[in-house]
A and B are shown apart, each in its own frame.
Chain A
Amino acid sequence: MAEYQTHEHDVLVIGAGGAGLRAAIEASAAGVSVGLICKSLLGKAHTVMAEGGVAAALANVDERDGWQVHFADTMRGGQYVNNWRMAELHAKEAPGGVHELEAWGALFDRTSDGRILQRHFGGHKYPRLAHVGDRTGLEMIRTLQDHAIHRGITVYMEHTILTLLEDGERVVGAFGYDSERGFFHLFHARAVVLTTGGIGRAYKITSNSWEYTGDGQALAYHAGAELVDMEFVQFHPTGMVWPPSVCGILVTEGVRGEGGVLRNKEGRRFMFDDIPELYRQQTADSEEEGWRYTQGDRDARRPPELLTRDHVARCIVREIKAGRGSPHGGVYLDISWIKGKLPSAAERIKKKLPSMYHQFKQLADIDITAEPMEVGPTTHYMMGGVRVDAESQMSTTPGLFAAGECAAGLHGANRLGGNSLSDLLVFGKRAGAYAARFATAHGFGQVRTDQVETAARRALAAFDGDGRPGGAESPYRVQHDLQELMQNRVGIVRREDEMVHARDGIARLRERATRVRVEGNRQYNAGWHTALVLDNLLTVSEAITCAALERRESRGAHFREDHPGKDASAGAFNLVVRKGPDDEMQVRRQPIPEMRPDLKRIVEEMK
Chain B
Amino acid sequence: MPTATFRIWRGDITGGKFCDYRTDVAEGMVVLDAIHRVQAEQVPDLAVRWNCKAGKCGSCSAEVNGMPRLMCMTRMNQLPIDAPITVEPMRAFPLIKDLVTDVSSNYRAKQRITPFKPRPPDAADGTWRMAQEDVDRIQEFRKCIECFLCQDVCHVLREHRLHEQFIGPRLLVHVAALEMHPLDIESRAEELRTVHGVGYCNITKCCTKVCPESITITDNAIIPLKERVVDECYDPLTKLFRIFRPARAPEAPG
Instruction: Using CB atoms and an 8 Å cutoff, list the residues of chain A in contact with chain B.
Output: 40-46, 48-49, 99, 102-105, 107-110, 112-116, 132-133, 135, 138-139, 142, 146-147, 149-150, 157, 180, 209-211, 242-246, 249-250, 355, 358-359, 362-364, 474-476, 480, 518-521, 523-528
Once A142-B142, A476-B44, A519-B44 are accepted as A-B contacts, the answer to whether A355 and B27 lie under 8 Å apart by CB is no
Q: When the two chains form their complex, are residues B96 and A524 in contact, meaning their CB atoms are under 8 A apart? A: yes
Q: When the two chains form their complex, are residues A527 and B28 in contact, meaning their CB atoms are under 8 A apart? A: no
Q: When the two chains form their complex, are residues A249 and B57 in contact, meaning their CB atoms are under 8 A apart? A: no
In the complex, chain A residues whose CB is within 8 Å of the CB of B131: 110, 114
In the complex, chain B residues whose CB is within 8 Å of the CB of A525: 44-45, 47
Q: When the two chains form their complex, are residues B97 and A44 in contact, meaning their CB atoms are under 8 A apart? A: no
User: Given A242-B28, A245-B29, A524-B96, 5 other A-B contacts at CB below 8 A?
Assistant: A44-B57, A180-B96, A523-B12, A525-B45, A527-B39
Q: When the two chains form their complex, are residues A138 and B56 in contact, meaning their CB atoms are under 8 A apart? A: yes
Nearest-CB residue, chain B, relative to A116: B127
Q: Is B33 at the interface (CB under 8 A from chain A)? A: yes
Nearest-CB residue, chain B, relative to A250: B54
Q: When the two chains form their complex, are residues A518 and B129 in contact, meaning their CB atoms are under 8 A apart? A: no
Q: Is B204 at the interface (CB under 8 A from chain A)? A: no
In the complex, chain A residues whose CB is within 8 Å of the CB of B107: 42, 149, 157
In the complex, chain A residues whose CB is within 8 Å of the CB of B54: 49, 246, 249-250, 359, 363
Tell me the complex Cα distance, A529–B116, Å: 37
Once A103-B118, A110-B131, A519-B45 are accepted as A-B contacts, the answer to whether A149 and B53 lie under 8 Å apart by CB is no
Interface string of B74-108 (1 = CB under 8 A from A): 01000000000000000000001110101110010
Q: How far is the CB of B165 from chain A (nearest CB, A)?
A: 20
Q: Is B128 at the interface (CB under 8 A from chain A)? A: yes
Q: When the two chains form their complex, are residues A147 and B115 in contact, meaning their CB atoms are under 8 A apart? A: yes
In the complex, chain A residues whose CB is within 8 Å of the CB of B103: 41
Q: Is B48 at the interface (CB under 8 A from chain A)? A: yes
- Chain B interface main SS type: loop
In the complex, chain B residues whose CB is within 8 Å of the CB of A147: 115-116
A-B contact pairs, 16 of them (CB 8 A): A40-B49, A41-B49, A41-B59, A44-B52, A110-B131, A114-B129, A142-B142, A209-B51, A243-B29, A244-B27, A363-B75, A476-B44, A520-B44, A523-B47, A524-B96, A525-B45
Q: Is B246 at the interface (CB under 8 A from chain A)? A: no
Q: Is B181 at the interface (CB under 8 A from chain A)? A: yes
Tell me the complex Cα distance, A137–B76, Å: 29
Tell me the complex Cα distance, A191–B59, Å: 31
In the complex, chain A residues whose CB is within 8 Å of the CB of B29: 243-245
Q: When the two chains form their complex, are residues B50 and A132 in contact, meaning their CB atoms are under 8 A apart? A: no
Nearest-CB residue, chain B, relative to A107: B135
Q: Is B40 at the interface (CB under 8 A from chain A)? A: yes
- Chain A interface main SS type: loop
In the complex, chain A residues whose CB is within 8 Å of the CB of B39: 476, 526-527
In the complex, chain A residues whose CB is within 8 Å of the CB of B183: 105
Q: When the two chains form their complex, are residues A359 and B55 in contact, meaning their CB atoms are under 8 A apart? A: yes
In the complex, chain B residues whose CB is within 8 Å of the CB of A245: 26, 28-30, 33
In the complex, chain A residues whose CB is within 8 Å of the CB of B104: 157
Q: How far is the CB of B229 from chain A (nearest CB, A)?
A: 22
Instruction: Using CB atoms and an 8 Å cutoff, list the residues of chain B in contact with chain A.
Output: 12, 26-30, 33, 39-40, 44-59, 73, 75, 96-98, 100, 102-104, 107, 110-111, 115-116, 118, 121, 126-132, 135, 138-139, 142-143, 145-146, 174, 178, 181-184
- Report the 9 A-B pairs with minimum CB-CB distance, sorted nearest first: A243-B28, A520-B45, A527-B44, A114-B129, A524-B47, A105-B116, A476-B40, A209-B51, A524-B97
Q: How far is the CB of A588 from chain B (nearest CB, A)?
A: 36
Q: When the two chains form their complex, are residues A474 and B44 in contact, meaning their CB atoms are under 8 A apart? A: yes
Once A105-B116, A250-B54, A359-B55 are accepted as A-B contacts, the answer to whether A48 and B145 lie under 8 Å apart by CB is yes
Query: Looking at B107, B121, B131, which has the most chain A CB atoms within 10 Å of its CB?
Result: B107
Q: When the two chains form their complex, are residues B116 and A114 in contact, meaning their CB atoms are under 8 A apart? A: no
Once A110-B135, A146-B115, A245-B29 are accepted as A-B contacts, the answer to whether A99 and B127 lie under 8 Å apart by CB is yes
Q: When the two chains form their complex, are residues B46 and A526 in contact, meaning their CB atoms are under 8 A apart? A: yes
In the complex, chain A residues whose CB is within 8 Å of the CB of B52: 44, 46, 48-49, 209
Once A105-B181, A249-B54, A527-B44 are accepted as A-B contacts, the answer to whether A149 and B130 lie under 8 Å apart by CB is no
Once A105-B181, A149-B111, A242-B28 are accepted as A-B contacts, the answer to whether A524 and B100 lie under 8 Å apart by CB is yes
In the complex, chain A residues whose CB is within 8 Å of the CB of B26: 243-245
Tell me the complex Cα distance, A45–B59, Å: 10
Once A49-B56, A244-B26 are accepted as A-B contacts, the answer to whether A109 and B115 lie under 8 Å apart by CB is no
Tell me the complex Cα distance, A521–B97, Å: 11
Tell me the complex Cα distance, A109–B146, Å: 22
Tell me the complex Cα distance, A58–B39, Å: 48
Once A476-B40, A524-B97, A524-B100 are accepted as A-B contacts, the answer to whether A109 and B56 lie under 8 Å apart by CB is no
